[in-house]
Structure 1
Amino acid sequence: MSEPAPMQATLPQQAATDTVAPSAATGHAPLRRVVYVVSQFPCLHETFIAREIATLVSEGVDVRILSLKAPSPHPIQRESAPLLDRVRHPHLLGTIFGSLAVTLREPRQVLGSLAAIVADSWRHPVVAVKSLVSVLRGLEHVAWLRRFDPQLIHAHWATYPTTVAWVLGRVLHRPFSFTCHAHDIFIERQMLARKIDDSALAVTISHFNVDWLSSHATPRASDKLKVVHCGVDLDRNAWQPHNRSTATLLAVGRLDPIKGFATLIDALRLLRERGAHLHCRLIGSGPLDDELRQFAHDCGVADMIDFAGAQTQDVVRGSMNSATLFVLPSEVADDGNRDGIPVALMEAMASGCPVISTRVSGIPELIEDNRDGLLVPERDPEALADAIQQLLAEPELRARLAARARARIEHAFDARKEASRLHGYMAEVVHGR
């Protein structure tokens, strides 16, 4: 992909063309050039970012991606593959010499930004070091960014990517924006109040997050934050309500405390004691892999569970299209971490697979109990076992919940519609409204 002309040559043209007719996608004057800062691209677990970028590209925005890490060794998801020629990754020599050149040219902005980061994070040395390294990796690309001339620098996750976007915005004198999700709000609140205050646009994925940030970060959050859901691609998550197995549970997610998979295993133990015959497929990898396998063995249900590990999106969709139920018993971890609104839940709902989850974080904004799915209290294996048993025994209820769930996704969690709404918000701030 060819690079645009240098910034100095593009600014007069930009000023002359920013008043053209609004784009059909957003109703605003066109947004032309955006840079996304992400932790890693491509990334197996963040296909929602790829879908969002792909929508902006389809609506005429030239999006480039700064990945703060080297590519993941996992298979490249179908959503990410078309975007690979838009990605720039860090290189050690480039990081060293590129960041040094920028510091010599813009010492006040760079050193002032680094001082602010250290002042915020010095009590957490690991966070401080990671933040500084991330910033240097971002500064590596400043010469290229000046040529590309982004109208907006956007980051996903309010931690290191947004720190980099904040610094690049200061160095390049360009507005920055970010989307915050879950752990970057509840656990790692790195300069979060300042980032919200300084941003041209702050976005989050649930109204629950807006209320939480208003109470825990800054009162300005309630006025500043926009809610844009992480939706699903309805074309690739086709409606498949029929030809499902009669007793297969599916669970998808990182093997992390917030997903509540230990509660699921305990619920399976109760169901076995009640005489239920079923099978559970658990797709995902993570730090609790060995611990969950051992717990399943201790509970006497290891033979009921297929620990399938991390899988591509196509494999996940195939499992969603055949499972009887989708179960994700999310919970608040001991350190306060929790889910936002899990994309896997949305994908299951879109596919026609009835869902069971919990009343944690933004999940009740996605699922109304007994309308779009069933919700049970967190960390309650007996309630979870009851809900699983009920849905397995009532095919009419499964059908009703599945149909309502699909309608809910189409109405409020369509990835293209949500990305188009974000496009509109971006255009507003770029063009000064």
Structure 2
Amino acid sequence: MTITYPRRLYEARGFFLMAEAMDLLLDRYTDITLCFAGEIDNEKVRRELDRLISSYPGRISYCLTDFDDMATVYRTSDVVVIPTLYSEGTSLSLLEAMASGCCVVATDVGGLTDLVIDNYNGVLCEPTVASLTEALAEVIEDTEKRARLAACARETAVASFGKQRWQQKWRDILKAHLDV
């Protein structure tokens, strides 16, 4: 099973929170792997990523993936984690993961709560190591729940943010303002 942390790797996005939680989970579950896919923010993050990779040979991968290649990353992911610490607007990486049919685990902060309905289309947790570890353990252990959350995540993303809905909203706006 692959757990993915997408996009920018930096402190405010919960990189160190994720690293601490994964130290616990990788020791507990020998069948999981972790993929970090994105830009590294600073040398402190790079050193911690290097430590993780050397501590868990063959179980942690890193790739600098550009925007256009993220779909490939999501296709190989079972769970996508957005462990933001403070506040975030509408998370593109969260929407992408949901649209790709991934089970999502996100912290209960900012705009993430506008997208994830806890235990319906993902899992929300507090931005703490204990809460993130518990949320991830739950979806690692319960394959039926993980599959249900992933299906509902995709359904939510397509229904709420899909291309057809976007086109209809633009038609409505243009009609209202241009008397078309």
TM-score (norm 2): 0.85
SS of structure 2 residue aligned to 1:356: strand
User: Which residue of structure 2 lines up, in the alignment, with residue 306 of structure 1?
Assistant: 61
User: Which residue of structure 1 lines up, in the alignment, with residue 169 of structure 2?
Assistant: 421
Deviations 1:290-313 (A, max 9, x none): 322312345664644212113342
Alignment of 1:225-244 (within 5 A): none
SS of structure 1 residue aligned to 2:39: coil
Unaligned runs of 5+ in 2: none
390 and 276 in structure 1: CA distance in 2 versus 1, 3 angstrom threshold: farther
Q: How many residues align?
A: 177
- Give yes or no for contact 2:159–2:165 (8 Å, CA) kept in 1: no
- Give yes or no for contact 1:285–1:309 (8 Å, CA) kept in 2: yes
1:319 matched to 2:67: no
Q: 2:139 aligns with which of 355, 372, 391?
A: 391
C-alpha separation in 2, matches of 1:423 and 1:257:
40
The alpha-carbon deviation at position 370 of structure 1 amounts to 0.5
Structure having greater relative contact order (Cα 8 Å, sep ≥ 6)? 2
User: Which residue of structure 1 lines up, in the alignment, with residue 36 of structure 2?
Assistant: 282
Alignment of 1:131-210 (within 5 A): none
User: Which residue of structure 2 lines up, in the alignment, with residue 250 of structure 1?
Assistant: 4
Deviations 1:180-234 (A, max 9, x none): xxxxxxxxxxxxxxxxxxxxxxxxxxxxxxxxxxxxxxxxxxxxxxxxxxxxxxx
User: Which residue of structure 2 lines up, in the alignment, with residue 8 of structure 1?
Assistant: none
The alpha-carbon deviation at position 286 of structure 1 amounts to 4.1
User: Which residue of structure 2 lines up, in the alignment, with residue 163 of structure 1?
Assistant: none
Counterpart amino acid of residue 272 in structure 1: L
Q: 2:107 aligns with which of 320, 344, 358?
A: 358
1:265 matched to 2:24: no
422 and 262 in structure 1: CA distance in 2 versus 1, 3 angstrom threshold: farther
Counterpart amino acid of residue 270 in structure 1: L
What's the % identity of the aligned pairs?
25
The alpha-carbon deviation at position 406 of structure 1 amounts to 1.6
Counterpart amino acid of residue 70 in structure 2: V
Counterpart amino acid of residue 102 in structure 2: C
User: Which residue of structure 2 lines up, in the alignment, with residue 187 of structure 1?
Assistant: none
259 and 419 in structure 1: CA distance in 2 versus 1, 3 angstrom threshold: farther
Q: 1:340 aligns with which of 75, 80, 89?
A: 89
Deviations 1:135-189 (A, max 9, x none): xxxxxxxxxxxxxxxxxxxxxxxxxxxxxxxxxxxxxxxxxxxxxxxxxxxxxxx
Q: Which has the higher helix share?
A: 2
C-alpha separation in 2, matches of 1:345 and 1:301:
28
C-alpha separation in 2, matches of 1:277 and 1:428:
54
Q: 1:405 aligns with which of 153, 157, 161?
A: 153
Unaligned runs of 5+ in 1: 1-246, 333-337
TM-score (norm 1): 0.38
C-alpha separation in 2, matches of 1:301 and 1:419:
48
Task: Please tell me whether Structure 1 or Structure 2 has the larger radius of gyration of its CA atoms.
Answer: 1
C-alpha separation in 2, matches of 1:369 and 1:285:
28
Provide the aligned C-alpha RMSD in A.
2.3
The alpha-carbon deviation at position 397 of structure 1 amounts to 0.5
C-alpha separation in 1, matches of 2:151 and 2:29:
29
The alpha-carbon deviation at position 422 of structure 1 amounts to 4.1
C-alpha separation in 2, matches of 1:261 and 1:301:
17
SS of structure 2 residue aligned to 1:384: helix
User: Which residue of structure 1 lines up, in the alignment, with residue 47 of structure 2?
Assistant: 294
SS of structure 1 residue aligned to 2:72: helix
C-alpha separation in 1, matches of 2:55 and 2:64:
18
C-alpha separation in 2, matches of 1:421 and 1:258:
33
C-alpha separation in 1, matches of 2:167 and 2:13:
26
The alpha-carbon deviation at position 265 of structure 1 amounts to 0.8
The alpha-carbon deviation at position 318 of structure 1 amounts to 1.8
